[in-house]
Structure 1
Amino acid sequence: MRFATYEHRHQRRVAVVEEDGTLHPVPGARSLTELIRSGDGLDTLLRAGAAALDVPPVPHVSEVRLLPPLQPPTVRDFVTFEEHVEGVRRSVDGVGGVPEAWYDAPTFYFTNPYAVIGAHDDVPVPPGSDVLDFELEVAAVIGREGRDLAPEQARDHIIGYTVFNDWSARDLQSREMQVRLGPCKGKDTAATLGPYLVTADELEPYRDTDGFLRLALTASVNGEVVGEDLLSNMSWTFEEMAAYASRGTVVRPGDVLGSGTCGNGGCLAELWGVRGEQSPPPLKPGDTVTLTVEGIGTVSNTVVAGRDPEPLPTARRRSRERP
């Protein structure tokens, strides 16, 4: 099943989406996040969806504003595509190859859950940035609480998948990561989730013999394709990522796990690293980025002008006196 969260006539609803775009509101559901938390995994969501199909349809999906399918409590963004790491490292750091430490485990960082936007919302340029980029990813959504999971257990804890665009201000990112704390304002202002949450059972036919989901990924800017890849080129499965995320801690319903950006043009920075120049150029107001994932759907966001940053002083050099 496919679940959407939408706004229509100033009301927010959760609905099941049929193949033709017909929306069936889920009875009693105030949010998809709340619905996921109310049960114990996929079966609860499928029962709620079945009940929704008995509800008369509301306006077609083309007549509503699609919101993010859910408001996640946490967003862990992994980096599981070797080709992406190699290209972006060359672009951002000017160094070739992949760090040996990358091969040890599926590394991630926590990004901003408050920055999540819908499938067709505008994206303001982050304050102070001149080098805006997109990142084509797929996100898994946790449906059951778990701790110290094994990968074979983790499959039962993933409730579904959605398209994820991790918008990145490359100039801010490159500068602030020299402090060695990871991305900060470079990845803090927008993250697209959508158009729907597709339940995990819907994508099982795409699973290959190694456990990866073989889904075609396509990125275009202003209608021109700039990147194509397969999700199965990930170096870890979503189950392995979920297991690692749960190591020594708890993953809870609604948590989002991003795949990391795919290769072969999954973002502009990778292409800049490969080509040695900013071609295509950084995104600017008026540019529209469209990302499509087989079996899940398409998100399409237009860049708009952002605000100028409020001025802050640089660090004050203190005397280092002691009491």
Structure 2
Amino acid sequence: MKLVTYQIGPLNANVHQSEEHLHRLGWLTDGNILDIARAWKWAKTEKKWRVEGPPPHSMLELLDREEDGLYQLRRIWEVVRAEDWSSIQVEGEPLAIAAGEARLLAPLPVPRTFRDFYAFEAHVKTARARRGLDMVPEWYQFPVFYFSHPYTLLGPEDPVPVPATRALDYELEIAFIIGKKGRDIPTEKAMDHIAGVCVLNDWSARDLQREEMKVGLGPAKGKDFATSLGPALVTLDELEDRREGDRWNLEMTARVNGRQLSKGNVRDLTFSFGDMVERASRDCLLRPGELVGSGTVGTGCILELGEETHRWLKAGDIVELEIERLGVLRNRIVPGNNHLTE
């Protein structure tokens, strides 16, 4: 399943606060969005299904139901997908709309936490070499991560204001969302705790990051101003034919203003999703709705490629990150409210 959070109505920069009631949960398929709450009601009234409880009205509410929520969703989906969507209405509202008629938000607009790992060796090695640093042996012993801001998530097509930086960069990553609580989760059981995966752009202010990292703590202000996520949460069963052990053969690309700059593959992860879940859950309870990023794939940012390949990003640039089967995460950079944007 490809699950989306969407909105129909005015485009409002403060949608998460002032128009939360307009958020809807849907399936994304064949250029259409099927509304999950309406499908849930339709299954109960028209198909006489004994679907327990009210439908989930948000991604977080769905995730909190853990396996039961996704199981019920899959049962309803198997029935709905065979119907003529255009002919179905629920309480006077259409079951499906064209995707172009809606605004896609981040699939999980406000995660409970956001951890970002550093799991691709190619990126780490190249980025460190550009700063004149060797790899440290500890990097190979366990996956490391930092916490970022869960309240600055952006969705596909959302504008990204330039923060107070002269070195704005993108980062091409894959992310997963926790769908089942657990503590001290072993690697071999980690997949049971993952609801699905998304494309993630960990926007970075490299000059700020460089300064704060000299202190030996962070990153913080070099990262927390914006993170893009989307376009959909893709459940792992959709990717089973691309699975290679504990990795997935999925190409990753990044384009700036239509020019491809980055190319990698999810299977190049040095540390697997299982390794990351095991590390994150050590002595710590993970709950549904926690967001976990992989870190940047090799070649996946300007810092790694060098300014000789592409200048730092500026207002007007369009950045598109794409992962096979997961979709395209597209954002335009716009002027920010600071004196460093020129």
TM-score (norm 1): 0.88
How far is the alpha carbon of 1:46 from its aligned partner? 2.6
Equivalents in 2 of 1:141, 1:50: separation in Å? 23
Task: Answer yes or no: is the 8 Å Cα contact 2:165–2:205 preserved in 1.
Answer: yes
CA–CA separation in structure 1 for the residues paired with 2:146 and 2:277: 13
Instruction: For residue 138 of structure 2, give the secondary structure of its aligned residue in structure 1.
Output: helix
Alignment of 1:188 onto 2:221? no
Q: Give the fraction of aligned pairs with identical amino acids, expressed as a percent.
A: 42
Is 1:23 equivalent to 2:33 in the alignment?
Answer: yes
Q: Aligned letter for 1:34? A: E
1:43 pairs with 2:71: yes
Does the 8 A contact of 1:268 with 1:282 survive in 2?
Answer: yes
- Cα separation, 1, equivalents of 2:189 and 2:243: 17
For residues 179-238 of structure 1, give each alpha carbon's deviation from its aligned partner in whole angstroms, at most 9, with x where no partner exists. Answer: 211111100111111000001111121111x32111100101000000101110000111
Sort the Cα spacing of 1:99 and 1:52 in 2 relative to 1 into closer, same or farther, 3 A: farther
Any idea what SS the aligned residue of 1:179 has? coil
* Aligned partner of 1:285 among 298, 315, 330: 315
Paired amino acid for 1:287: D
Alignment partner of 1:220: what SS? strand
Rounded to whole Å, the distance in 2 between the matches of 1:297 and 1:271 is 23
The structural deviation recorded for 1:298 is: 0.5
**Contact (CA 8 Å) 1:78, 1:258: kept in 2 or not?**
yes
Q: 2:104 aligns with which of 47, 60, 66?
A: 66
> What residue number does 2:142 align with?
105
Whichever residue aligns with residue 206 of structure 1, its letter is: R
What residue number does 1:318 align with?
A: none
1:304 maps to 2:338 = no
Query: Structure 1 residues 98 and 141, CA, compared in 2 at 3 Å: closer, same or farther?
Result: same
Structure 2 partner of 1:315: none
Amino acid at match of 2:101: E
Q: Whole-Å Cα distance in 1 between the matches of residues 80 and 2 of structure 2?
A: 12
Count of matched residue pairs:
300
Aligned residue runs from structure 1 range 56-95, under 5 A = 56=88, 57-70=95-108, 71-91=110-130, 94-95=131-132
- The AA in structure 1 aligned to 2:6 is Y
Q: Does 1:198 find its partner at 2:237?
A: no
Partner residue in 2 for 1:116? 153
8 Å CA contact retained: 2:66, 2:288: no
Partner residue of 2:16?
A: none
What's the CA shift for 1:43? 2.5
Q: Confirm or deny: 8 A CA contact 1:35 1:45 kept in the other structure.
A: no
Quick check: 1:15–1:52 contact (8 Å CA) kept in 2? no
The one-letter code matched in structure 2 to 1:289 is: V
The alpha carbon displacement at 1:48 in A equals: 5.8
* Residue of structure 1 equivalent to 2:15: none
Cα distance in 1 between the residues matched to 2:80 and 2:216: 48
- CA distance in 2: counterparts of 1:139 and 1:44, whole angstroms: 24
8 Å contact 1:138–1:163 — kept in the other structure? yes
The answer (yes or no) to whether the contact 1:217–1:229 under 8 Å persists in 2 is yes
Q: Distance in 2 between matches of 1:89 and 1:304?
A: 30
Which residue in the other structure is 1:14 paired with? Answer: 25
Q: Confirm or deny that 1:179 pairs with 2:215.
A: yes
Deviations 1:91-127 (A, max 9, x none): 3xx224322111110101111110110011010111x
Alignment partner of 1:154 is 2:164: no
Query: Is the Cα–Cα contact under 8 Å of residues 14 and 32 in structure 1 kept in the other structure?
Result: yes
The answer to whether the 8 Å contact 1:25/1:52 transfers is no
Q: CA deviation at 1:38?
A: 2.2
Unaligned runs of 5+ in 1: 310-323
The one-letter amino acid paired with 2:160 is V
Which whole-Å deviations, capped at 9, do the CAs of 1:255-305 have from their partners, x for residues lacking one? 111111000x21110011xxxx45300000000110110011101101111
Can you list the C-alpha shifts for 1:73-104, whole angstroms capped at 9, x where unaligned? 0111001111101222233xx22432211111
